[in-house]
Structure 1
Amino acid sequence: MSHPRRLALTAGLLYLVTVVTSIPALAVKAPILKDPATLASPAVRNALLGATLLEVVLASSCVGTAVVLYPIARRQSETAALGFVMSRLAEAGLVLLGVAAMVSLTTIVPGTTIVPDGPTAAPATVSSATSALVAIHDWAFLLGPGLIPAVNALLLGSVMYRSGLVPRIIPAVGFIGAPLLMASAIATLFGLVEQVSAVAGLAALPVALWEISLGLWLTVKGFRPEAVARLIRSAAEPARAIE
């Protein structure tokens, strides 16, 4: 295992990067996706492309948090640590699917389709394609950043809570937020709640607080030394028994 303080600092910074990229990206893209006709403006297209760039960084940071934390998380639970890596990969993949849909939207202008050496599409065709791309983004957003963070909170939260690597109040907030976020995602799936709404925002708040708190703690404080020492001792005991 690399130096625990270095791991904690890197993971904490990556968690904070996920926050500072996801919030402005959502603020920029939400009104554009509600009215894709505004993409006729070059400034609006550039704004959406900026949001996609932020989300590419977001996806990379999601994977980074899991990869960086894996060496120490696996000492508490190999299953939970590996599950966290896989769930982060799934989340990043869905984020990138949404990015692909948004980039595709920027090539569609009301009344025409920009296709190299291709024909000009009829307005009705463009409207259908636009609606399909927005739907792909919305479902990818719901199943990715809208749902998987609840799974992340349960997997990584269990490792952090049982190991004591961080104060237990931090993963406890994630445990509270996970079922709320899941319930919100299911309600959105069945059309009971708007995907971007005050209700959905409140349901996502505890998980967001868990991630922000974890990122800040790991950046400023790092892992608790006594918890790291305990994990290292427990990993060494089977080796001694074999000897």
Structure 2
Amino acid sequence: MTGLRKPGRIAGLWFIGTFLFSIPAVLLYDPVLNDTRYILGSGLDARIALGALLEIGAAICNIATAVVFFPVLKKVNESVALAYVASRTVESTLIVAGLISLMSVVTLRDDLGGTAGATSLTVAGHTLVAFHDWTFLLGPQFCSGLGNGILLGYLMYKSELVPRRMAMLGLIGGPLAFLGGVLVLFGTLENPSGALFALTAVEIVWEASLAIYLTAKGYRPSPLLAEPGPVS
């Protein structure tokens, strides 16, 4: 059972990586997301490109968490563990699609800024940013709520690889985050908004606490995984 500590810590480090890459990326993207005239101005290409690079790092960390979790969690429930891998893969795909849309804004500004009409460029920029906003909703909101919240929360609760009270945060936060996405989808809530953040807060606490716990302690001994030999 001591063989569970190392893979647990590795999983925790990858999870921390998702925070370390994704949060700065959002801050770097701010000009292109919130400046309606960005596509007409001089631009901050290097800043946006750095944000895209960080988003790629976040996507890699997302998939890596699923890959390192799977050998352990498949012993709890292989079907659910595989569904978790799928959800993280879809989430990463949506993240990459979103960053491509923002880099397309940069390309349009560079290539057509002096030749196209301001109105047409502005409309194109709005369209690409709107595409990014929807990928951000469908990825982190829906996929994370389902994958990290419901699926991973269930697997951790059943296996007791982390304290069950902690795992309950995922089982509570996941459905709330998913609900927030549904309410945005039907126009009941704005994205972003304080109400959406409130529905997502428990999920954020769950993911952060899981990352910190696993990095510090690794997996707890689990009666479901009491088999000879370490987990690789």
Aligned pairs (5 A) from 1:24-173: 24-40=24-40, 44-109=44-109, 112-113=112-113, 120-152=115-147, 153-173=149-169
1:117 match: none
* C-alpha distance in 1 between matches for 2:23 and 2:69: 23
**Corresponding position: 1:204 with 2:197:** no
- Contact residue 184 and residue 200 of structure 1 kept, 8 A: yes
- Partners of 2:63 and 2:111 in 1: CA distance: 39
Alignment check: 8 A CA contact 1:97 1:137 kept? yes
Conservation of the 8 A alpha-carbon contact between 1:77 and 1:159: yes
| Counterpart selection for 2:212 from 204, 213, 216 | 216
| Structure-2 separation of matches of 1:235 and 1:30 | 51
Partners in 1 of 2:118 and 2:97 — Cα distance?
A: 25
1:171-210 aligned within 5 A: 171-210=167-206
Q: Are the equivalent residues in 2 in contact too, given 1:111–1:123 (CA < 8 A)?
A: no
Report deviation, 1:110. Answer: 8.8
Amino acid at match of 2:76: Q
1:81 deviation in Å? 0.4
Q: Which amino acid aligns with 1:168?
A: R
Deviations 1:112-154 (A, max 9, x none): 259xxxxx43333322221221111011111001211110111
In structure 1, the gaps of 5 or more residues are 115-119, 237-243
Aligned residues: 228
Which residue number corresponds to residue 224 of structure 2?
231
- Aligned partners of 2:139 and 2:54: how far apart in 1? 16
Deviation string, structure 1 residues 36-76 (Cα, Å, up to 9, x no partner): 42355556332222221111111110000000000000000
Residue 179 of structure 1 aligns to which amino acid in structure 2? Answer: P
> 1: CA distance between counterparts of 2:130 and 2:11?
33
SS at match of 1:192: coil
Q: Per the alignment, do residues 121 and 5 of structure 1 end up closer, same or farther by CA in structure 2, a change over 3 Å counting?
A: same
Rounded to whole Å, the distance in 1 between the matches of 2:143 and 2:225 is 30
Contact 1:37/1:109 (8 A) holds in 2: no
Distance (Å, rounded) in 2 between the aligned partners of 1:110 and 1:72? 48
Structure 2: give runs of 5+ residues left out of the alignment. none
Residues 187, 110 of structure 1: alpha-carbon distance in 2 compared, 3 angstrom cutoff = farther
Tell me the TM-score normalised to structure 2 length. Answer: 0.89
Relative contact order (alpha carbons < 8 A, sep ≥ 6): 1 or 2 greater?
A: 2
Alpha-carbon distance change, 223 to 110 in structure 1, aligned in 2, over 3 angstroms: closer
Which has the larger displacement, 42-51 or 189-198? 42-51
Task: Tell me, in whole angstroms, the C-alpha distance in 2 between the residues paired with 1:214 and 1:233.
Answer: 22
Distance 2:200 2:94 in 1: 18
Is 207-216 or 194-203 further displaced after alignment? Answer: 194-203
Percent identity of paired positions between Structure 1 and Structure 2: 34
- In 1, Cα distance between equivalents of 2:168 and 2:154: 9
Q: Greater Rg, structure 1 or structure 2?
A: 1
Q: Which moved more, 1:17-26 or 1:151-160?
A: 17-26
Q: CA deviation at 1:5?
A: 2.1
